[in-house]
Structure 1
Amino acid sequence: MPQLSVIVHGPNAQGHLTELLDSLAAHPLPDAEVIVAAVGDWARETAEGHAPETIVVPLPDGTGDAAARAAGAARASGRWLHFVHAQDGLPAGAPRLIAERTAELDRADTADTAGAAGPGKPAAPVDVLLFDHVTTTWRTASAPSRDGRHLAAVGRAARPLDEAADLLRLTPLLGNRALRAAFWHAHQDRLNSDDEPLAAHAALLCAGRVACLNQTAYEHRVLRPESLPPRAPEDRLALVDRYEALLPLTRDRRAPRAVLYDLMVRDLVRTFAREDLPDPVAREFFRRASLAAVRWRPEGHRRPPGPDGVRHALLEEGAYTRYRAFQSANHARRATRTAVRTRKRKLGAQLRDHRYRRALSRPLDPRLAVFAAYWDRGVACNPAAIAAKLAELAPHIRRVWVVSKENAALLPPGTDHVVPGTRRYWETLATAAFLTNNVNFPNAVVKRPGAVHLQTHHGTPLKRMGLDQMDHPAAAQGLDFAALLARVDKWDYSVSANSHSTRMWQRAYPSRFTSLDYGYPRNDVFYTADARAVRAARDRLGIAPGRTAVLYAPTHRDYEAGFTPRLDLAALADRLGDNTVLLVRAHYFYGGTASPPAALRRSGRIIDVSAYDPVEELCLAADALVTDYSSIMFDYANLDRPIVIHADDWETYRTTRGVYFDLMAEHPGQVARTQEELTEILTSGAWRDAGAAKARAAFRRRFCEYDDGRAAERVVRRVFLGEPEEALPPVLPVEDRTPAPTPEEAVA
């Protein structure tokens, strides 16, 4: 019996079935079967032309989604079912993720049953596994969902829906959940419907327990409405029927009732406002929506404040005419506010442009240097290291930082700075002879003859950057490539840490800038810090001597709406024991002071360093680094300390973000694909064995090529003091460098 049955169902809409089956064939999984409930001859022929082990269930044209799902499920033999519409997609490795997580849930259910004793009953089985998804439309590809925060809030522990009712707020797709086969067959009449959101919600409401996989394992494709058969206005009435069918499942279930009721009112109001329905249909929709809003209102329910509360009240009253009048008045108010804001923006822009043009007529100040980092976050990264060295070697050059208003209060005392948008900001940018940034200055900044623009970057690229993102829409969301190239054309110099970066910057940002192959100035500290500095960094973090500090620093996923945790930190800390401290550089969605991570934080076994700067101090304090695809691995490798890669979604990341090399083959130490593998590496000592050291040595030779502790000096002498290349300190070979002492050496 396979662990997972992937049931592909539906017609070959616009040819997308071919792409889906190709992706499944490219990443076969031994513990999964693929069944295609092919609707129509085109879908059948497409399915039969793929892998011979694919089971094809031919169905006549016009077969609905519910009937196709039922036919596919009837042929399935897996313990779990994943229904995938033929027009949708699966990220690389998604079936493996689902199969592994469901197998883990099965083992836990078996243990719960075996461990039940006495009169108590074992916990209900986990019937539904939920996971994240991306959405592709005819205009965009792989846009992240907003579901991650709800999945993260629940964590990995299985629980009844009544304890996690917010999961009803997840996008209602059958594709972003896997169902236990026995559960499906027991509730098929209720779970299977041509109305997919109804089926998706019903699965949660009927489940014994639900569990989450906070990773992207589905691609929902939205076809262009104009390419689909038109919907009759009366079809909108089915939305009321959906909730009339679902809400009876919430009787005596306070939390699910409240969430589902809010979803119903939201959907009804939005549909009424956004759909241009003929008046008779609109009146009937409003009448039925009003009845449902009154009939299913939870006891003690309070309307939201503001306009939403007014809409809700008018809906419950069935006041169709007054609702329409309220709607019209709101439209008029919004139009007026928009016009006023537009006029203010235009006047502000005109005033700014006038002041900036006047400032541009002044001569450049050769003793003025402007620095910025991370979109005006503050004194950080390569610009900070360069500014510090500039103060030492050229104190006659005044240093001014661009810092956002909200971050200005966090600056070191006495830091000269300007706030974006102010008069002094534009005057300073207009007259500075040197402009240094690790990202880009705004498009409006003019590159003046004689002014030097220095681009420092902020990491060695594993992921694709610049123009190379054009083939990866998830990464390129909102990017204006023409504007990007206009910004790049202002660069005079580009700092590089290794020849890999030099080549990639030239490819991703094709322009006439000069590459400064000097190393990253921010990494100088990894060679200049002594034992006292290492001890001081650990003391500031509260790490006791003798304890092992592991820095966990994952990166952002472009296919997720926001950062979500990928590890159960409480479980990891428990397995690593009291002598290990986890330094966590990320924000996690742990709620409540009684949560295990909160207790671990109180005991000093987990330290949240998400807001700690500079990150280089964290690296000095850590005995080892655990990361996924973050560029911190390239910087940390300078310390020649162990690095472990946790690559649970490598295939998805590589496909959606694009990468420059295969990290799984050219890694800096050990690689874990699951939390269990990561735990085994850290507890067994494999994280610092000979194999890990050998991989790290090759990684250092390639990616720490120019970092030797004197990068900032080389940049200052060449760019700010105008010294010739041959007069600069030469780069020391990797084998001749001595990194900062390890925490263990610093104590000795």
Structure 2
Amino acid sequence: MPRFSVIVPCHRVQAYLPECLDSVLAQSYRDIEVIAVDDRSPDGCGAILDEYAARDPRVRVLHLPENVGLGRARNAGLAHAGGDHLLFLDGDDTLTPGALRAVADRLAETGDPDVLGYDHVRTHGWGGTRRDAPAEVLAGAGPDTFTAAGYPRILDLPMVVGNKVYRREFVAAEGFEFPPGCHEDIPWTFPVMLSARRIAALDRICLNHRQRRQGGPLPATGREHFDVHGQYERVFAFLDARPRLAHWRPYLHRKMGEHCLGILAEPDRLPPADRPEFFRRTAELFRRLKPRGARVDGEVAVLEGTWAAYRLRRQAARAGHGAARLAESARQAAAGRARTGWACLHARRSPDPHLVVYSASGHRGLLGDPAAVYHAARRIAPQLRGVWVVRDAGTAALLPPDVERVLAGTRRCAEVMARAAFLVNDVPWPAAPAGRPGSVYIHTHQGTPLKYLGADLLDKPGARLGVDVPRLLRSADRWDHSLVAGRHSELVYERAYPCRFASARTGSPRNDVLVAGGPGDFRRRHGIPDDHTVVLYAPTRRDYRGDGHVDRIDVARFAADLGEGHTLVVRLHPSLAAGPARGMGLTEPARRGVVLDATDEPHLPDVLLAADALVTDYSSVMFDYANLDRPIALLADDWPAFRASRGAYIDITAEPPGHVAYSYRELARLFASGRWRDEESARLRAAFRSRYCEFEDGRAAERVVRTLLLGEPMPAGPAAGSADGRAGRAGVGVRAAGGAAAYSTTRSTSMLPRVALE
């Protein structure tokens, strides 16, 4: 008897069916049977199913003599299922990699509950991907089993049959079947969830649910949506037959009203001529099924009125929304004019020579290079007053109490920025005032560049999606100094931002702590044993994917392959932190303690200091980590695609910081054999540091404060690229501005040739 029976009904899905079947049969967990039901499909689905069955004995095919619809096709497959648990998959959906292994582990952990719910994403025809469940529903369910009565929020999971697995004996004992019709999920989902005595949750994305523009099982526009009324009548008939569930009637009554109003509110669900009839049928059903004494308020109260009243309410709501938007636009414009006028008023005053305004990562707090400069300034030049721009009150509350802060977009923020002698930021700052005599804008960047930036993105339309390059360059026109960690960075920034700033060879202030090599407290805070080898996996985003995420590694498998005495720490790219990447394969292993998720750690150097080795692909974190002189391994299995879509200034596979693996198997062998830390790894790392970290000597923040903020000379030191791989006290190229001394200047011009830097 297999662990899972995967039931796949098929009708007019020949273009998607191979991808669906491959996603199931290629799962690392193989104790399954696939019952594929050809629902008399007029296209090639039947032949495709027969071909797969001939190749894989786990596939069984049922050819129905007539088309019966999605629900009854599922029932046909259900009658032949022999697995412990049932999983229903539409013929155009796919399982995510590692999904069945994660489900099997969670079922074993919770003792085979009646139902296990998990997350899914909707993949739209235009290429977008959206996580469907409210993020807190699954995360808040806890590690143990429960009932719907004990945790009602579980019913907020979308009514999709495929986002759950069901214990087959439970389904058989209760006699659950799918009805005919296009909203067949409703009278399956509610009875199953309300009847289950043990439910568990898995906070992981296991299903890609395809939303086709045309031809899907749920029609986009048509009278078929009237079917929803009959499906809810089946749900209430189920309650009538089970008095112990009668207390759910008020909840389901409201849910029914909300669902039907949602169909009515969407402009593309019902033909305009059918909308009045749909409202009237919904209202009649709502009144007829209303529980005695139930209170009707909120949005669903409109169903106790007429179609005319509903239309007037919708029109008023749209008008009110439009008026509110106009009022808000006017308010914002007026506030903007007021801030601009206030800033202009203060701009007429002389800059405060002791005022430094800082911001980092879009006003997200004390982070990166600006934070390192700020702390150095407090130590070296306490007469300087540092003020941080933060994005909201929540961010402000996270700052230490002795750090002065202002909220972005406020009049106070405009005032301090207009009065500041120095502005320090690591991302373009469009709100910064135009340069004026006596003020200095110091741009620190966020990492050593590997991927194309700025003007170079003009040749990469996919990578510049959502990036306003001309606006980016107008912002860069305001820079006075651009901090660089080496001559590679200097050349790239001057090419990517053809503006009139000076490159300051200071090194990267954020990396001072890495050059010093302090212990940090990450291991202690997370309870990592002292004798464990910590491997940090830090992948970057992909511009050839709409959501930026591509699964390169099954992190649970990698952690297992590393073996005892190892801790795998995973840190996703910040742009992927809130997307499906985490739910796809990181959240659940992190919950079980298989890996440690460090994506939300605010201070990257703390994570890097804790790691004994770094595994990455093309993330700029490798340049920072190289300052620790610890092993680095690259997984470059999609390097041609990455380079073609985003562009790269160097061929990182030809000049790597350590061994390069071109598949997961190669990566696993690298660690199993111990080659990840051999002499060749050390040689590659030393050459890499010499090329890209030549100005990193642990005094970058001090150098910025003394030369750029205080105008002091910096004593000369050892030549860059000394024997131990660290840079000496590199000379600082600066442009005289705001009283800063004039040193050897490296100036960017718009006439620089566009050379290939590789």
Task: Tell me the TM-score normalised to structure 1 length.
Answer: 0.64
Q: Which residue of 1 aligns with 2:746?
A: none
The answer to whether the Cα contact below 8 Å between 1:640 and 1:696 also exists between their aligned partners in 2 is no
Q: 1:331 to 1:545 in 2, by over 3 A?
A: closer
Q: Which residue of 2 aligns with 1:116?
A: none
Per-residue deviation, residues 514-551 of structure 1 (Å, max 9, x unmatched) = 76675431231244476xxx69x699979999898989
**How much does 1:344 deviate?**
1.9
- 2:272 maps to 1:282: no
Q: Which residue of 1 aligns with 2:339?
A: 352
Please, which moves more after superposition, 463-472 or 164-173? 463-472
Q: Which residue of 2 aligns with 1:438?
A: 426
Q: 1:545 to 1:137 in 2, by over 3 A?
A: closer
Q: Which residue of 2 aligns with 1:65?
A: 70
Q: 1:623 to 1:340 in 2, by over 3 A?
A: closer
Paired AA for residue 437 in structure 1: N
Per-residue deviation, residues 564-595 of structure 1 (Å, max 9, x unmatched) = xx999xxx9xx999xx9x99999999xxxxxx
Q: Which residue of 1 aligns with 2:16?
A: 17
Paired AA for residue 338 in structure 1: R
Q: 1:320 to 1:454 in 2, by over 3 A?
A: same
Unaligned runs of 5+ in 1: 113-122, 304-308, 590-596, 601-605, 675-685, 739-748
Q: 1:231 to 1:374 in 2, by over 3 A?
A: closer
Q: Which residue of 1 aligns with 2:374?
A: 387
- 2:90 maps to 1:84: yes
- 2:404 maps to 1:401: no
Residue in structure 1 matching 2:155, options 152, 168, 172: 168
Paired AA for residue 270 in structure 1: G
Aligned partner of residue 195 in structure 1, secondary structure: coil
Cα distance in 2 for residues equivalent to 1:166 and 1:483: 44
Aligned partner of residue 140 in structure 2, secondary structure: helix
Cα distance in 2 for residues equivalent to 1:464 and 1:8: 45
Q: 1:47 to 1:194 in 2, by over 3 A?
A: same
The answer to whether the Cα contact below 8 Å between 2:632 and 2:685 also exists between their aligned partners in 1 is no
Q: Which residue of 2 aligns with 1:237?
A: 226
Cα distance in 2 for residues equivalent to 1:690 and 1:408: 46
Q: Which residue of 2 aligns with 1:679?
A: none
Paired AA for residue 41 in structure 1: D
Paired AA for residue 340 in structure 1: A
Residue in structure 1 matching 2:257, options 254, 265, 269: 265
Q: Which residue of 2 aligns with 1:456?
A: 444
**How much does 1:142 deviate?**
1.9
Q: Which residue of 1 aligns with 2:8?
A: 7
- 2:363 maps to 1:376: yes
Q: 1:188 to 1:277 in 2, by over 3 A?
A: same
Please, which moves more after superposition, 406-415 or 543-552? 543-552
Aligned partner of residue 16 in structure 2, secondary structure: helix
Paired AA for residue 454 in structure 1: I
The answer to whether the Cα contact below 8 Å between 2:190 and 2:235 also exists between their aligned partners in 1 is yes
The answer to whether the Cα contact below 8 Å between 1:455 and 1:495 also exists between their aligned partners in 2 is yes
Aligned partner of residue 429 in structure 1, secondary structure: helix
Cα distance in 1 for residues equivalent to 2:155 and 2:247: 10
The answer to whether the Cα contact below 8 Å between 2:7 and 2:74 also exists between their aligned partners in 1 is no
Cα distance in 2 for residues equivalent to 1:658 and 1:146: 31
Paired AA for residue 384 in structure 1: A
Q: Which residue of 2 aligns with 1:101?
A: 102
Residue in structure 2 matching 1:525, options 496, 506, 513: 513
Aligned partner of residue 118 in structure 2, secondary structure: strand
Cα distance in 1 for residues equivalent to 2:250 and 2:548: 27
Cα distance in 1 for residues equivalent to 2:386 and 2:142: 46
Residue in structure 2 matching 1:425, options 405, 413, 424: 413
The answer to whether the Cα contact below 8 Å between 2:103 and 2:202 also exists between their aligned partners in 1 is no
Aligned partner of residue 131 in structure 1, secondary structure: strand
Task: Tell me the TM-score normalised to structure 2 length.
Answer: 0.64
Q: Which residue of 2 aligns with 1:292?
A: 286
Q: 1:193 to 1:182 in 2, by over 3 A?
A: farther
Paired AA for residue 263 in structure 2: T
Percent identity at matched positions?
Answer: 27
Q: Which residue of 2 aligns with 1:144?
A: 131
Q: 1:226 to 1:217 in 2, by over 3 A?
A: closer
The answer to whether the Cα contact below 8 Å between 2:182 and 2:218 also exists between their aligned partners in 1 is no
Unaligned runs of 5+ in 2: 583-589, 665-670, 728-758
- 2:118 maps to 1:130: yes
Per-residue deviation, residues 408-430 of structure 1 (Å, max 9, x unmatched) = 56655665554433445334434
Residues 14-53 of structure 1 correspond to what in structure 2 (within 5 A)?
17=16, 20=19, 24=23, 31=30, 37=38, 39-41=41-43, 53=55
**How much does 1:169 deviate?**
1.5
- Aligned-residue CA RMSD in angstroms? 6.6
The answer to whether the Cα contact below 8 Å between 1:165 and 1:259 also exists between their aligned partners in 2 is no
The answer to whether the Cα contact below 8 Å between 2:27 and 2:99 also exists between their aligned partners in 1 is no
Cα distance in 1 for residues equivalent to 2:478 and 2:52: 51
Cα distance in 2 for residues equivalent to 1:246 and 1:68: 20
Q: 1:429 to 1:27 in 2, by over 3 A?
A: farther
Q: Which residue of 1 aligns with 2:189?
A: 201
Cα distance in 2 for residues equivalent to 1:235 and 1:173: 18
Aligned partner of residue 264 in structure 1, secondary structure: helix
Cα distance in 2 for residues equivalent to 1:645 and 1:736: 20
Cα distance in 2 for residues equivalent to 1:471 and 1:68: 46
**How much does 1:373 deviate?**
1.6
The answer to whether the Cα contact below 8 Å between 1:126 and 1:211 also exists between their aligned partners in 2 is no
The answer to whether the Cα contact below 8 Å between 1:193 and 1:199 also exists between their aligned partners in 2 is no
Q: 1:264 to 1:583 in 2, by over 3 A?
A: same
Paired AA for residue 65 in structure 1: L
Paired AA for residue 285 in structure 1: F
Per-residue deviation, residues 205-264 of structure 1 (Å, max 9, x unmatched) = 3656444242354153342799997734x4443233232223455553488666544432
Paired AA for residue 221 in structure 1: Q
Aligned partner of residue 171 in structure 1, secondary structure: coil
The answer to whether the Cα contact below 8 Å between 2:365 and 2:390 also exists between their aligned partners in 1 is yes
Paired AA for residue 230 in structure 2: D
State how many pairs are aligned: 667
Between Structure 1 and Structure 2, which shows a larger proportion of helix residues? 1
- 2:211 maps to 1:221: yes
Q: 1:688 to 1:460 in 2, by over 3 A?
A: farther
Cα distance in 2 for residues equivalent to 1:7 and 1:616: 48
Cα distance in 2 for residues equivalent to 1:257 and 1:643: 59
Cα distance in 2 for residues equivalent to 1:480 and 1:338: 25
The answer to whether the Cα contact below 8 Å between 2:378 and 2:384 also exists between their aligned partners in 1 is yes
Paired AA for residue 426 in structure 1: A
Cα distance in 2 for residues equivalent to 1:470 and 1:188: 57
Q: Which residue of 1 aligns with 2:747?
A: none
**How much does 1:19 deviate?**
8.7
The answer to whether the Cα contact below 8 Å between 1:369 and 1:433 also exists between their aligned partners in 2 is yes
